[in-house]
Each structure stands twice: as structure tokens, then as C-alpha cells.
Amino acid sequence: MENNYIKDQIELIESKIKETELLLLDPEFVSMARAEIEELKKQKEQLEAAVNGNVIYDSDEQNPRDTLSHRNVILEVKGAAGGDEAKIFSGELLRMYQRYAELKGFRVEKLDEQTIKIIGRDAFGVFKFEAGVHRVQRIPETEKRGRVHTSTAVVLVLPELEDIDLHINPDDIEFDAFRAGGHGGQNVNKVSTAVRLRHKPTGIVVTCQTERHQAQNRENAMKMLRAKLWELEVEKQNKIISELKSTQVGKGMRAEKIRTYNFPQDRVTDHRIGRSYHNLPAILDGDIEKILIDIRESEKGEE
């Protein structure tokens, strides 16, 4: 199903390349058309690599979060309720994720004491369900009476923002030439050298009349339009990140837990799927494959 979708996208891009190649016949559009064709070919190569490598993208245009699944991931673990024990536990969790990432062939960069970046295809898709409050129950080394303490750590999982690769479909641009206004000059109000471009999908309008020739104004207007569309995409990405943060970060209270690590019973319980796993030392050493698979399968079943 996923590969069929990707193949459809490849065919769509091939069609767009052919349409854009027609613009090469117009001297005024040559530079813009070449840039667009180059971008389209890059997109096509990426999609072909996905099909040939049998890479499955967990993407759904109706769900902006799922379109982020292929990205690198920023993973931050902070101690919450429980003082020093919470800080110790947060360090153990961070090491657990680092170990698992390395075992799976991802590259890991340490950003600070609480944060790592995991680099590799589908990194965010692998770790995104780890976000939330993790609870630990155990007897701290400093506990003299042998009492079990409960502490928590908050895991924040965010996709790394990517460089934005804009593709502007020439069919989406409404072009209008008009006579430039200004003071003096033989060209003023005699020749339609000024340019107005309207991007139909977004409604963004740019005008340029600073140059004496329409082709130059047209090229500058395209640069202005690209800048505005790039800014719009940045705003969209930042909004997604803000929404992810607001849904992931609670107060770190014990009752908000998504998972409990119970040392006395050598058990890890994921409360979202109601399943328990044993051998805590191995789990904290990165053996979390079974847990992650079960959670992903559960999420797919609920879609």
C-alpha cells in the first residue's frame, strides 16, 4: 500500500517535470524552470530510493505528525518528581535510548547532559511513542530503611527540523504585468515592465517594479515569493513542534505515567497497552525492541 502511494508520487513528479520543461522554451523562465526541474529530480530520486530499498514511510498527509516520522529525532530526558533519584533515573533512561539507537545502527550525538540527537532514517518514527512520564519504583542506595521510593522522569521526543526544499508549481502562479509608476524616465507608464505574482494555493501576492525590464522584475518577484513561502513553511514546522511539546510535557507527576519500571519485581509495565516485560537490567541496557514494536502495533490497531 505504502509503495503504491510512493510510485503514484513518482509518476506525479515525472508529469510535473515534463510540464516544467516546456518553460525552458521561454527565455524569461529558463532560470526558474531549471531550478524547479532540479528540485523535482531530487524528490524523484529520494522516492525511487525508498521503493528500491523497500523503505516504508509512516506518513499520512492528514496527520502532520506522521509526516515527520522519517526525520532525525531530538530526545530529552529530565528528572521530575523525586529529587536526586529522579535525576539518576533520567540519566539511566537517556543511556537506555542511546544504547538501543546504537544497536539499531543509528548515529547518536550528545547535545547536553539531558539531550541526545539520534540520526538515521525513521528515527522520529521509532522513538515518538516514548514521549511522556516514566515512573521508577525502587530502593535508592541512600535509603537505610529499605523503603521503596517512587520517582519520575519526563521524556520529550521531537523531530529535528529539516532544511525546507520548496517546489513551486508554475501552474499555481498567476502572473500579471502592469506599467510601472514613478518619477520621470521614458519607460514610466509606457511599457508594462512591473510584475505582480499571486500564489493561488496560499493567496500570497508579491509585486516588483524596481528594474527597467520585465524579465528582471519577474525573476526578483519569484525570489520574493519563494522567501514568503519559505517563511510560511517555517511557521508551519514551528507550530507542529510547539503542539508536540504541549502534548508531551505534563507536570511530571506520578499519576501521569505512561510506563513504570518496578525494580523489586523486575518488571516494566507500559500502561498504554497494559503489558509487562521482565529483565529490567537488560531493558535499561537498550533491550527495548519488543516494547517499541508492541506499542507501534497497538497504535496501528487503533487507527
77 shares its domain with 2 = no
Q: Which domain holds residue 21?
A: 1-57
Whether 195 has a pLDDT exceeding 80, the answer reads yes
CATH number of the domain bearing residue 137? 3.30.70.1660
32 shares its domain with 103 = no
How many structural domains comprise the chain?
A: 2
Whether 113 has a pLDDT exceeding 90, the answer reads no
91 shares its domain with 39 = no
Angle in degrees, 0-180, between the axes of helices 30-52 and 214-248, rounded to the nearest 10: 40
Mean pLDDT of 23-44: 77
What is the percent of the chain where pLDDT is above 90? 23
What per-residue confidence (pLDDT) applies to 108? 93
Q: What is the band of 107 on the pLDDT scale with cuts at 50, 70, 90?
A: very high
Kind plus residue range of the DSSP H or E element containing 226: helix 214-248
Mean pLDDT of 184-204: 70
50 shares its domain with 80 = no
- Asked if 229 and 199 touch (Cβ cutoff 8 Å), the reply is yes
122 shares its domain with 254 = yes
256 shares its domain with 131 = yes
pLDDT digits (tens, 9 = 90+) for 206-224: 888 777 777 888 887 887 8
Answer yes or no: is 96 within a domain. Answer: yes
Of 13 and 290, more confident: 290
29 shares its domain with 81 = no
Of 127 and 56, more confident: 127
* Reported pTM: 0.57
Mean pLDDT of 16-28: 77
What are the phi and psi torsion angles at 263 (to 5°)? -70, -45
Q: What is the band of 245 on the pLDDT scale with cuts at 50, 70, 90?
A: low
**What stretches of 88-222 adopt beta strand conformation (E)?**
107-110, 115-119, 132-138, 149-159, 173-178, 194-199, 204-208
What per-residue confidence (pLDDT) applies to 248? 60
146 shares its domain with 89 = yes
20 shares its domain with 138 = no
Mean pLDDT of 111-133: 89
Choose among 293, 249, 47, 11: nearest CA to 134.
Answer: 249
- Domain boundary pick from 57, 82, 99: 57
Q: What is the band of 260 on the pLDDT scale with cuts at 50, 70, 90?
A: very high
144 shares its domain with 250 = yes
52 shares its domain with 79 = no
Answer yes or no: is 150 within a domain. Answer: yes
Answer yes or no: is 18 within a domain. Answer: yes
78 shares its domain with 156 = yes
What per-residue confidence (pLDDT) applies to 21? 80
SS3 of 110, please?
A: strand
The amino acid at residue 175 is F
Kind plus residue range of the DSSP H or E element containing 258: strand 257-262
SS3 of 76, please?
A: strand
- Asked if 124 and 157 touch (Cβ cutoff 8 Å), the reply is yes
